[in-house]
Amino acid sequence: MCDMTERDRLSFVLQGAVVYSKNKDELNCFDDAYAVCKDGISEGVFTKLPEEYKDLPLIKTGGQLIIPGFTDLHIHAPQFQFRGNGMDIELLPWLETYTFPEEAKYSDLGYAEKAYRLFTEELINGATVRASVFATSHRGATLRLMEMLEESGLVTFVGKVNMDRNVPDYYVEDTEGSLSETEKWLNEAAKKGFSRTRPIITPRFTPSCSRELMTGLSELAVRYDAPVQSHMSENLSEIKWVSELEPDTSCYADSYVKAGILKKSIPCIMAHCVWSEEEEQEILKENNVFIAHSPDSNTNLSSGAAPVKKYLEKGMNVGLATDVAGGHTASMINAVRSAIRVSKLRNRLFDRDTKALTFPEAFYMATKGGGAFFGKAGSFDKGYSFDALILDDMSIPTTREDLSAIERAERFIYLGDDRHISGKIVAGKRIK
């Protein structure tokens, strides 16, 4: 990538080994090909460069591996500071012990500035090109995070978190205040004129949001044409608590349906869905919900192993997520390999009817599957946003000289890390 000197170049051709998803089951793999970007949009991948693109700048990667950038469908920016801590306790006590005390600190804009700078730098240097991000309940700090992410060149959704019950007094909002602050935040974000950063309505989860608050948030989502993100069926204790708090619901998902949050007209991400049974799965599918599968978090917090293979086979929308800090790392590379490993354990230990994920399926979830929440993203198919990672995978030692493109891609997922990313392009602009 050293010969791509214009960082804001929007039209060019990348030459190298190219791998991207054909569908959830198959990968398109080329040992030597041309990936064409015109005005930030993919024109496709070609084994021989068509005449119409001969005048575009040709960027030779020296045979490096070119793949679409990864989408992280669920990550908590304020939790980045305590990643790797509390990995020996379950979700609910973990929230009380680590999450709420840390997030409360973001009322201090000076602290938020330092913390969010570290978070943003991590995303810039990693494999993530798009992300859906939880902030905190603080309007000012959330706007500052949005400004930093806008400057980074990444494409993101960012949410001001809402909570009016079952949260410590030092952090809880009242219902009217939460709705008022959220609407102010939406208006202030609109005035910023962001082009890559959009607001997303963010009730933390049913245990911390009253029906009144959720209904108000659903009205804001409709009024401001904003999507929604939250959590669902992550942990057995959490699910039991929801049934006690919302006795008129048939399942966790129904608490969102009854509040108007979960419906076809509102694009929605639900993180986890580890324990979603048939009724809940049908609700999610019917309403086109995107499931953010977070294998590291679900393992670290003893939540379980989601049946994502079943979700894919049902034609449900599934993407991958790091879920920092339940997930101990913001590396989407790690999320791909963890998804495969966790699915194998689920299959072998207690669910022989649900097969383990294949490498193409996990790769698809990290790229085209999760990218679909952002529109045409996560692929080199014609018409998709040109988001790419250039990987120096051959710097990972081996004596083999006959590795195919798909072998190189799989090998990178299991052996590579951020140090092997030699170039990163988002919507046609180089950001690394």
Q: What share of the chain is helix, strand, coil (3-state, %, to 5)?
A: 40, 25, 35
Amino acid at 322: T
Lowest-confidence segment of 202-206, 352-356, 384-388 by average pLDDT: 352-356
Confidence at 2, pLDDT banded by 50, 70, 90: very low
The packing angle between helices 211-223 and 175-192, to 10°, is 20
Closest CA to 365 of 343, 382, 345: 343
Confidence at 160, pLDDT banded by 50, 70, 90: very high
- The answer to whether the CB of 286 falls within 8 A of the CB of 314 is no
Distances (CA, A) of 130 to 196, 237, 388: 9, 31, 11
CA distance 137 to 116: 15
Q: What average pLDDT does this structure show over 364-382?
A: 98
Fold of 12-68+378-430: Urease, subunit C; domain 1 (2.30.40)
Domain ranges in the chain? Answer: 12-68+378-430, 70-374
- Name, in order, each residue with C-beta under 8 angstroms of 70's C-beta and a sequence gap of 6 or more: 127, 128, 129, 130, 320, 332, 333, 335, 336, 366, 367, 370, 389
For residue 360, the model assigns a pLDDT of: 98
Query: H helices within 197-277, ranges in order?
Result: 211-223, 236-245, 252-258
List, for residues 30-68, the tens digit of each pLDDT value. 999 999 999 999 999 999 999 999 999 999 999 999 999
List, for residues 101-149, the tens digit of each pLDDT value. 999 999 999 999 999 999 999 999 999 999 999 999 999 999 999 999 9
For residue 192, the model assigns a pLDDT of: 96
Closest CA to 27 of 287, 358, 282: 358
- Which tokens hold the place of 424? 């990163």
For residue 32, the model assigns a pLDDT of: 98
For residue 7, the model assigns a pLDDT of: 44
Same fold, 12-68+378-430 and 70-374: no
Q: Is the pLDDT of residue 381 over 50?
A: yes
For residue 5, the model assigns a pLDDT of: 45
- Which tokens hold the place of 145? 């995070």
Identify the residue whose tokens are 């019950």: 165
In percent, the amount of the chain with pLDDT more than 70 equals 98
CA distance 188 to 143: 8
Bridge pairing between strands 70-76 and 128-134: parallel
List, for residues 199-224, the tens digit of each pLDDT value. 999 999 999 999 999 999 999 999 99
- The answer to whether the CB of 391 falls within 8 A of the CB of 64 is yes
List, for residues 177-190, the tens digit of each pLDDT value. 999 999 999 999 99
Looking at residue 290, what DSSP letter applies? E
pTM: predicted TM-score of the whole model, two decimal places: 0.96
For residue 25, the model assigns a pLDDT of: 97
For residue 180, the model assigns a pLDDT of: 98
Backbone angles phi, psi at 6, to 5 degrees: -90, 110
Average pLDDT, rounded, for the chain = 96
In percent, the amount of the chain with pLDDT more than 90 equals 97
Closest CA to 260 of 217, 290, 207: 217
- The answer to whether the CB of 282 falls within 8 A of the CB of 354 is no
CA distance 35 to 43: 8
* ω into 221 cis (within 30 of 0): no
Please, what CATH class does the domain formed by 70-374 belong to?
alpha beta
List, for residues 288-305, the tens digit of each pLDDT value. 999 999 999 999 999 999
For residue 163, the model assigns a pLDDT of: 98
For residue 311, the model assigns a pLDDT of: 98
Q: Is the pLDDT of residue 14 over 70?
A: yes
CA distance 32 to 292: 33
Q: Is the pLDDT of residue 4 over 60?
A: no
List, for residues 221-258, the tens digit of each pLDDT value. 999 999 999 999 999 999 999 999 999 999 999 999 99
CA distance 425 to 42: 12
CA distance 84 to 10: 38
For residue 97, the model assigns a pLDDT of: 97
Dihedral in degrees, nearest 10, Cα atoms 189, 193, 194, 200:
30
- Name, in order, each residue with C-beta under 8 angstroms of 218's C-beta and a sequence gap of 6 or more: 201, 228, 259, 260, 261, 263, 266
